[in-house]
Amino acid sequence: MIRCVRIWTGPDGDSLFEEGHLALSRGERGDVLSKVLNAASISWRETGGGGAFARHNAPARQFVLTLGGTPEFRCADGATFRMYPGDMLLAEDTTGTGHSWRLLGDAPWRRAYVIVGADAGALFIQGDPS
């Protein structure tokens, strides 16, 4: 299972989030895999330990793959969630009040941004698979 957190803009314009995982099905050699999605671009970024970013919107619909570090995200209502290495964020809050984040600990946040289309939402499954 690959943990995924989805963040989107609710009807009131505030960002909301929900925990889930990626839809994976049985493949060859006992692997589990997702369906293939088209991506418009991929880029990488690193922010030093202790970094933060004030409230903002996702610039595009994107997956953010955490490679290292532990960011804590905050929505306008004060609700927070953390991402850990190996986690995916499906950022869909391209409008509204947005979200902010800060890094916990001294480790840098290393991540990859993958700009995706509307079909990416089909990979997100809400809740714990167990």
pLDDT, tens digit, 9 for 90 and up, residues 79-101: 999 999 999 999 999 999 999 99
Instruction: Provide the domain count of the chain.
Output: 1
How many percent of the chain have pLDDT more than 70?
Answer: 98
Residue 30 corresponds to which amino acid? G
Mean pLDDT of all residues in 95-113: 97
Alpha-carbon gap, residue 93 to 10, rounded angstroms:
9
Domain extent at residue 15: 3-126
CATH code of the domain containing 98: 2.60.120.10
Residue 76 corresponds to which amino acid? A
DSSP per position, 18-82: EEEEE--EE-GGG-EEPPP--EEEEEEEEE-TT-EEEEE--SSSEEEEEEESEEEEEETTS-EEE
For the question of whether the overall pTM of this predicted structure is more than 0.85, the answer is: yes
Scan for tokens 């293939």, then name that residue: 36
**Across the strands, what pairs with 25?**
33
Q: Which residues of 60-98 are buried (b: 16+ CB within 10 A; e: fewer)?
A: ebbbbbbeebbbebbbbeeeebebeeebbbbbbbeebbb
The predicted structure's pLDDT at residue 130: 60
pLDDT band at 121 (very low <50, low <70, confident <90, very high): confident
pLDDT, tens digit, 9 for 90 and up, residues 22-55: 999 998 898 999 988 889 999 999 999 999 999 9
